[in-house]
Structure 1
Amino acid sequence: MTLITRPEGLSPDQIAPSRRSLGVATAGGLFFAAYAPAVLSQSAQPIATDAAGLVTADTAYPAPDGFALPAYVARPEGSGPFPVVIVVSEIFGVHEYIRDVCRRLAKAGYAAVAPAFFVRVQDPAPLSDMQAIQRIVAAAGYEQVMGDISATLDWIGVQSWAKADRVGITGFCWGGKVVWQAVARFPTLDAGVAWYGRLSPAANATDDQKAAGRPWPIDLAGELKAPVLGLYGGQDSGIPNDTVEAMNEALKAAGRTDSQIILYDDAPHGFHADYRASYREA
């Protein structure tokens, strides 16, 4: 087993280093080592996937804007090549839940790569202030995020252990929306799984909020370049069931018979997140 360890969290002077040094420092082992405290349930019993038989590492590679983009990587031991899954986090960034998801995928025979999209501004993972987290996330605009995914695809393409013609993407909440956007943009992606990502603006969204969220998945149904499976909760107060129905109708209208959203009637938002009170065991 090859395992690169990380320290137990960030010291105050490491929370907001310079834009360029943060990518390098994080890749050197400074991902927040615990679960995101903003929503961690005191009664949670998260799944803990060990790294036996895996190679895990923190790395960094250049994004289009020159930033050294940090990412967590988990893959099976051996030379591969392995099919790859890009893992897109919720608004809390790359914390232990996201790393564990990567290790679960690696145990199943995939290489998993989780880029840290938010750290140009600050790592949201150690923070408890939701307003501060939302400000950090808002700074990660569509073009930056798509550029980071492009850089991730480029990096995957030169890894000897990666089966670069078999790459999928999955993401949660904020990352679920990114899945729809990425599959509409990159023909190199072979499939996507979107977990409860917003599909359209909220009914009470302002014009600025509508503009900031573009392109919305419901407007991209006809542009998808690969199948997408959406997994959503029927009790998700932030994503009304009628918006899920509208997305399924948009997919049908666009002839995307290979894509659909499955709605789990009794599930709330975040039902996959086993460190949160919203978790629902399958």
Structure 2
Amino acid sequence: MMKEITRRKFIATSTLATGFALAVQPISAQVTATDAKGLVAGAVKIPVKDGEIPAYRAAPATGENFPIVLVIQEIFGVHEHIQDVTRRFAQLGYLAIAPELFIRQGDVTKLSSIDEIRPIVAKVPDAQVLSDLDATVKWAVKSAKGNANKLAITGFCWGGRITWLYAAHNPKVKAGVAWYGRLVGDATELQPKYPIDIASALTVPILGLYGGKDTGIPLDTVEQMRDHLKSSSSKSEIIVYPDAPHAFFADYRPSYREKDAKDGWKRLLAWFKQNGV
């Protein structure tokens, strides 16, 4: 079991994972590989309140004032798939950054069992995550040629839930896309709110992409979220792919559904453009 790192004396020294999540081996043959040609891509350190956290960033090698995309990990950490997603954005002219948001609680990329990963992720406070994302945005603007007025966020599974929450936390976000993030749940001290709790007050336009056969996110909760969004000013939308399971975008996993994943990516890019990112 990973040793916990005390927050008071926290300085993240671990390196970002270069491979895929150990907990989801073997890796699918359908993996997308985006090269770094023409990009600046690799590990960086983000200054945060109690030290530094590692992150992976990718951006065009030339130019400046890039639109910023925060890429929020699944529970498996910032492994090769998440890093590849940042490179996909960078090849399109974005500065994309995926911060390691669990690192204080443990390095999940080195664990081979989902049963070992879940207890670590459960210890991650939402307040810590939101603060770290604020710090990541600040770093992107000051140190990486990012445009503070063109900020977007996207996340997958655990990161899908965070996408909704961060958009409520930071109204400067121009657009977000949440991939199959949990919408309802029991409030705890560490996770006091879920997307459904912030939906009616949301001002940032979020596109939710969900699977009709996701056994972990019942369709009735998706419909509840849609109902709550009707009273918001955000003009958010939710798309459900009827035959898609959970994690249908994750091309390294058996859950991958190429048609739905490609349609979702196309919708994401259109959503960003439509909302000025």
Smaller-chain TM-score range? 0.7 to 0.9
Structure 2 CA distance for aligned equivalents of residues 61 and 132 of structure 1: 26
| 1:1-282 alignment runs, 5 A limit | 23=12, 25-26=13-14, 30-64=15-49, 66-159=50-143, 161-201=145-185, 209-211=186-188, 212-256=190-234, 258-282=235-259
**What is the CA-CA distance between 1:157 and the residue it aligns to?**
2.3
Contact residue 22 and residue 119 of structure 1 kept, 8 A = no
Separation of aligned partners in 1, 2:3 and 2:37: 33
Cα offset, 1:225, TM superposition: 2.9
How many Å separate the matches in 2 of 1:187 and 1:42? 37
Identity %: 46
Q: CA RMSD in A?
A: 1.9
The 3 A distance-change label for structure 1 pair 111 and 234 is same
> Secondary structure of 2:147's match?
strand
Secondary structure class of the residue paired with 1:38: helix
Cα displacement string for residues 187-227 of structure 1 (whole angstroms, at most 9, x for unaligned residues): 221111000000002xxxxxxx4325431101101222310
Cα pair distance change 1:45/1:71, threshold 3 Å: same
Quote the residue 2:263 is aligned against: none
Give yes or no for contact 1:199–1:216 (8 Å, CA) kept in 2.
yes
Contact 1:193-1:231 within 8 A present in 2 as well: yes
Rounded to whole Å, the distance in 1 between the matches of 2:11 and 2:121 is: 16
2:10–2:51 contact (8 Å) kept in structure 1: no
CA contact (8 A) 1:177 1:194 kept: yes
Q: TM-score, normalised by structure 1?
A: 0.86
Query: Scaled by the length of structure 2, what TM-score is found?
Result: 0.87
Structure 2 unmatched ranges of 5 or more: 260-277
Alpha-carbon deviation of 1:132?
A: 1.5
Cα offset, 1:47, TM superposition: 0.4
State the number of aligned residues: 256
Shift of 1:63: 1.5
Q: What SS class does the counterpart of residue 135 from structure 1 fall into?
A: helix
Q: CA deviation at 1:133?
A: 0.5
Deviation at 1:37, TM superposition (A): 1.8
216 and 81 in structure 1: CA distance in 2 versus 1, 3 angstrom threshold: same
Q: Distance in 1 between matches of 2:181 and 2:28?
A: 25
